[in-house]
Amino acid sequence: MATDAGHPGRTNEDFAGAVPSGMVLVDGAGGIAGAEKVCHHGVTWYASRLGGALLGTLSQDRSLRDVLAESIERITDEHRDTCDVAHSISPYAAVAMLRFSGGLVEHLVLGDAVVVVSRAEVEPFVAHDPREVVIARSFEARLKGIPEGSDEYRRLLLELRAQRNSPGGFWVAKDDPRVVDEAITGSCPADEVTATALLSNGASRLVDTFGLTGWAGLLHLLETDGPGEIIRRVREAEIRDGVATDDATIVCRS
């Protein structure tokens, strides 16, 4: 497991953890200017509380969708009375989960996190949801050149946030447990699996943004050099290409 904050002086908003029955990664996001007035707990609190709830219920004999829905509802209830949990700039998160049980390796992805499963003698299986990336890229050109913190910058960010958890938009963990219906799920026989990994979108950039290796190559690097090396290479590429950094987290098992 490895993680690195993308912004010096700011708290890492990713969470990752593992228990014998599986692994969880929560990539927290949300607040723009004024978010502390909406939710005084913050993104890191939301991500760590949601991640802890998921780990605590992962071994239960229930679908991964049900595990996630219950955890979203539980954490939302923890701050429903003190924060505006439904506000467009309140904390939210992408989620990736793996569970090892009953001879299966089960996966769930909600948002732009990534699950990678290595299988003997075939290409790795990759579970990801491109909807947020596609929508966010459409806003990048509109935001280019607009001063961060300006009224126009904030207006465009709010417009982007309005695409979240709505038909035609993208889906993440926030305050409504019904979003789990949009999660990507599946399973494969455990005896076919040789290694697994969960990555936040800040770590998966090595493949899906910079194209410096494929998913098989990423799994090989994890095996030979560890997750910290993946993140180091991402940071090098960000500097070289002038790409804004992001929190980067990987949890893997072989």
Q: Write down the pTM of the prediction.
A: 0.93
> Of 56-60, 151-155, 197-201, 236-240, which range is least confident?
151-155
Select the highest-mean-pLDDT range: 5-14, 23-32, 36-45, 202-211.
202-211
| Cα distances (Å, whole numbers) of residue 111 to 15, 67, 92, 179, 228 | 15, 16, 10, 10, 23
**In the block, residue with structure tokens 């290694």:** 195
**Res 239 pLDDT > 80:** yes
pLDDT of residue 8: 80
Gap between the Cα atoms of 140 and 153, Å rounded: 11
Residue 175's closest CA among 66, 77, 67? 77
pLDDT value of position 87: 87
CA of residue 65 relative to chain centroid, distance: 16
CB neighbours of residue 144 within 10 Å: 7
